Amino acid sequence: MKVNFNKAFIDADGKEVFVGDQKQMISERLGFMLFNLVQIKGQPATPEQKYKAYCLLRKIKQNPEKVEITTEEGTMLKDIAAEALSAGAYGQIYDIIENKNK
């Protein structure tokens, strides 16, 4: 499936999230989490999981608007986001992966 992670996070009031004068982009946050992956679901990430994270990072950075991901990769991204992000940020990533964009 193709997904678009080139979107800014939206806050609880429906406004784009900024840090300083820059929008907080979902693709950038996912890239940071994938690059720095240490654990998934409270367990140390295996070398295989770390390499998969690296491959996903490269896909997202190459073209964040049209990222081709498998069901397994989508599940991995949701697991990583669930552990590292707030409910609001996680929900936005979940919606993108599950194609529930409004």
- What's residue 102's pLDDT? 55
Of the candidates 59, 71, 60, 58, the one whose C-alpha atom is nearest the C-alpha of residue 27 is 60
The domain ranges of the chain are 2-97
Listing DSSP states for the chain in one string gives -EE----B-B-TTSPBPEETTEE-BHHHHHHHHHHT--EETTEEPPHHHHHHHHHHHHHHHH-TTSEE--HHHHHHHHHHHHHHS-HHHHHHHHHHHTT---
Residue 52 pLDDT more than 80?
yes
Which pTM does this prediction carry?
0.93
Query: What is the pLDDT confidence band of residue 40, given thresholds at 50, 70 and 90?
Result: very high
Q: What's the rounded mean pLDDT across residues 22-41?
A: 97
For residue range 66-90, list pLDDT tens digits in order.
999 999 999 999 999 999 999 999 9
Average pLDDT, the chain: 96
